[in-house]
Amino acid sequence: MVKPPPTDDVDESALRVGPPAEAAAGVTGVRVALEHATGQMGVPRAAVALTKLNQVDGFDCQGCAWPDPAPGERHHAEFCENGAKAVAEEATQAHVGADFFAAHSVEELRGRSEYWLGKQGRIVEPVVLRPGASHYEPIEWGEAFALVAEHLNALDDPDRASFYTSGKASNETAFVYQLFARSFGTNNLPDCSNMCHESSGDALHETIGVGKGSVTLDDVHEAELIVVMGQNPGTNHPRMLSALEVAKRNGARIVSINPLREPGTMRFKNPQKPRGVIGKGTELADLHVPVRINGDLALFQAIGKALVEAHDRGEEVLDDDFIAGHTVGFERWADHVRSLDPDVVRRATGLDEATVGAVVEEFKRSRRTVICWAMGITQHKNAVATIKEIVNVALAQGNIGERGAGLCPVRGHSNVQGDRTMGIWERSPDWFLDRVDAEFSITSPREHGLDTIATIEALRDGHLDVFFAMGGNFVSAAPDTAVVEEAMGNAALTVHVATKLNRSHLAHGRTALILPPLGRSEKDMTGGQLQRITVEDSMSAVHASRGPLEPASEMLRSEVDIVCSLALATLGEDHVVPWDAMRRDYTEIRKRIGRVVPGCDGYEELVDRPGGFTLPHPPRDSRTFPTPQGKAVFSPSPLEVLEVPEGHLLLQTLRSHDQFNTTIYGLDDRYRGVTGGRRVVFVHPTDLREAGLADGDHVDLVSVWGGVERRVHDFRVVPYDQPRGCAAAYYPETNPLVPLDHMADGSRQPASKSVVIRLVPRGGQS
């Protein structure tokens, strides 16, 4: 039976806290998945959607970018609990149309939570908020395109528009979208990658010459040692647990490096296996390393030092042949880590010598190591340096370009990596722009554009007039929420291509549009024929995706259609780019992708193969490194301890188990024992005691940056096992605490995982 959307909003007084779980998934995961699926889609629709999810002839899950097994190795149910929730959110039978917008003013909707907004259902027709109006109202597609075109063509400089992309957009959408922005005359192409893995891309580009991970799923299965750091796969990439289980059964050891002991890395109850249903499941982590927040750089320098010193003593722990044949800078790096002060390591990591020594022993024993990481590593001021240090250790042991070894940044958005491959990048290199120009006879601008933070600053400072978002929830995903909301108000026009309502639609420019696209789970009959799209996962595998469901409304248009129609309205029917042909048949887009994007030659045929194809990756494929030096690069980094003043804590923002980025599926973070609400802050019990607080007390969280106080109100404290001096709380509720200019050196990625805060009695003086 389909559940109606909630009329009441979240009631935090219903929040309950129990003990954290000891294992992930299991039959509870299956039950919850089915409840979400049938409750929102109804049984017949859920049955169709779930049997086609992640299948060769089906559609790609929106829930994360974890790769699919080879075609012959897939189960009939090839999805996880959170994959089912992601599909249910999109394919819900609840709808938001003209009646809804007539009944609810923007002001009223602003008072609602992100959870309530999302649960109202799919937006089923385009709507506009006209200057000074209180309510969104319907608008015809043609008028909407003309309105955007009018605003764009009135700009005296194309750089006064910015085109944001969320990582769910398909390769076809991304390709035509970047082409439109560049044909219009700007490289202002910020994307969600600026907020999730920009640090990985920058560090990997500089050190191995390719800004992507170097492993395949087989490498994970065949590793001797897998290190999972700054990552919570049980919630954020749940099918990764199946890969870890395979590796474990093949004899791998697993080290989890994370301030929190997340159940997903401890024990996995695989619902596809009897041992996961009636047994205790599979123990995953052999060693949990509760590193202090921001201590990963110091930890990896300590690992490097121990390996180098062991090598100096004659132990065979480094790969001398690989270092000599494929790298530069080893001696400089080795000297740097030899001089590391153990006391600095202790202060930075919060770990004793024995724990660091235990990690070192794991690295020494292994001849095939895969190192995985996610936003617990990328969202720090020293994130790029930390990832370079991870690379240093991998290079020193020759753990790249070998079966069962490599570097594995794990992406969250399902096609964020593909979007970047297709040219969604404010800093696309000249060679890529040259290929675009040659294919389409346009002249792309060469000056770099605005990234996410620069876009917000430009809006804040009145340098942008048009903000266009292809998906996502920009306002809630970005740091410093109050600043972003105010900045949006400075735009003449904000446009969101969005399947569901979210807070970004309520922090709008003087005119605002919401343009509803088809979802990935839906049939796309653009141009009168069934279209397919393509996506790339975290391991550079590209495959086709075709939705099986009837669309939520006849008024929806595909994202490709929206971009091409907008391009025609803005650039004119006689523009040199064949927008109409590409709109009518996505094969035309793929032909051009094949000619423009390296490794995609014959793209249409490549994605015809069952399971698709894997893009070339020279370090992985042949141990060749396309850096300026022609070799992999060791890069020493200075080490600073992030000092936290007395009485303060270091906060990391994180997801609950019941959410995907800013989409709140429900109020049940059962892995951490929190249900019924979201305003909690997890703190070490001793820190709580010393602050004069007890379990269940309510506090405000306060950060001070550049003399400005930021505060979020009324959080229940929860004692939780983690290093002293650390704290954790959910985003987007805590995003207002993250200053806009608190970001990673080099990559400019928001440093949301290390924010200095104080706990202040609820409503009290700071």
The smaller minimum CB distance to ligand SF4, of residues 549 and 563, is found at 549
Least distance from C-beta 238 to ligand SF4, angstroms?
5
Least distance from C-beta 212 to ligand SF4, angstroms?
17
Least distance from C-beta 709 to ligand SF4, angstroms?
37
Could you tell me where the beta strands, DSSP code E, fall in 668-735?
A: 668-669, 674-675, 680-683, 698-705, 708-719, 726-730
Q: Is 352 exposed, middle or buried (0-12, 13-18, 19+ CB in 10 A)?
A: exposed
Are 270 and 663 in contact by the 8 Å Cβ rule? The answer is no
Q: Is 557 in the site for ligand SF4 (CB under 6 A)?
A: no
3-state secondary structure of 178: helix
Least distance from C-beta 535 to ligand SF4, angstroms?
10
Least distance from C-beta 107 to ligand SF4, angstroms?
35
The smaller minimum CB distance to ligand SF4, of residues 63 and 612, is found at 63
The smaller minimum CB distance to ligand SF4, of residues 86 and 297, is found at 86
Rounded to whole angstroms, the Cα distance separating 424 from 418 reads 9
x/- letters, 24..63, toward ligand SF4 (CB under 6 A): ------------------------------x------x-x
The smaller minimum CB distance to ligand SF4, of residues 544 and 567, is found at 544
Are 398 and 319 in contact by the 8 Å Cβ rule? The answer is yes
Least distance from C-beta 541 to ligand SF4, angstroms?
12
Residue type at 543 in one-letter notation: H
The smaller minimum CB distance to ligand SF4, of residues 49 and 737, is found at 49
Rounded to whole angstroms, the Cα distance separating 262 from 188 reads 38
Q: Is 738 in the site for ligand SF4 (CB under 6 A)?
A: no
The smaller minimum CB distance to ligand SF4, of residues 409 and 739, is found at 409
3-state secondary structure of 630: coil
Select from 24, 45, 79, 407 the one that contacts ligand SF4 (CB under 6 A). 79
Least distance from C-beta 544 to ligand SF4, angstroms?
15
Supply φ then ψ for residue 702, to 5 degrees: -125, 130
Select from 45, 104, 160, 237 the one that contacts ligand SF4 (CB under 6 A). 237
Q: Is 66 in the site for ligand SF4 (CB under 6 A)?
A: yes
Q: Is 82 in the site for ligand SF4 (CB under 6 A)?
A: yes
The smaller minimum CB distance to ligand SF4, of residues 171 and 526, is found at 171
Q: Is 366 in the site for ligand SF4 (CB under 6 A)?
A: no
Q: Is 665 in the site for ligand SF4 (CB under 6 A)?
A: no
Contacts of 169 (CB under 8 A, 6+ apart): 177, 415, 419, 424, 470, 471, 559
Rounded to whole angstroms, the Cα distance separating 201 from 417 reads 10
Residues 384, 662, 372: CA angle, nearest 5 degrees: 35
Are 228 and 409 in contact by the 8 Å Cβ rule? The answer is no
Helix (H) or strand (E) holding 633: strand 632-633
Q: Is 64 in the site for ligand SF4 (CB under 6 A)?
A: yes
Tokens of 687: 């820190």
Q: Is 83 in the site for ligand SF4 (CB under 6 A)?
A: yes
Q: Is 535 in the site for ligand SF4 (CB under 6 A)?
A: no
Rounded to whole angstroms, the Cα distance separating 524 from 521 reads 9
Supply φ then ψ for residue 341, to 5 degrees: -90, 115
Q: Is 611 in the site for ligand SF4 (CB under 6 A)?
A: no
The smaller minimum CB distance to ligand SF4, of residues 82 and 637, is found at 82
358-363 LR contacts (CB < 8 Å, sep 24+): 358/287, 358/289, 359/255, 359/257, 359/287, 359/289, 359/299, 359/303, 360/302, 360/303, 360/306, 360/307, 362/225, 362/227, 362/253, 362/255, 362/286, 362/287, 363/225, 363/303, 363/307, 363/317, 363/393, 363/397
Q: Is 80 in the site for ligand SF4 (CB under 6 A)?
A: yes
Q: Is 239 in the site for ligand SF4 (CB under 6 A)?
A: yes
Q: Is 586 in the site for ligand SF4 (CB under 6 A)?
A: no
Q: Is 69 in the site for ligand SF4 (CB under 6 A)?
A: no
Rounded to whole angstroms, the Cα distance separating 223 from 218 reads 9
Least distance from C-beta 331 to ligand SF4, angstroms?
42
Q: Is 238 in the site for ligand SF4 (CB under 6 A)?
A: yes
Please give the residue ranges that form the binding site for ligand SF4 (CB under 6 A).
54, 61, 63-64, 66, 79-80, 82-83, 86, 237-239
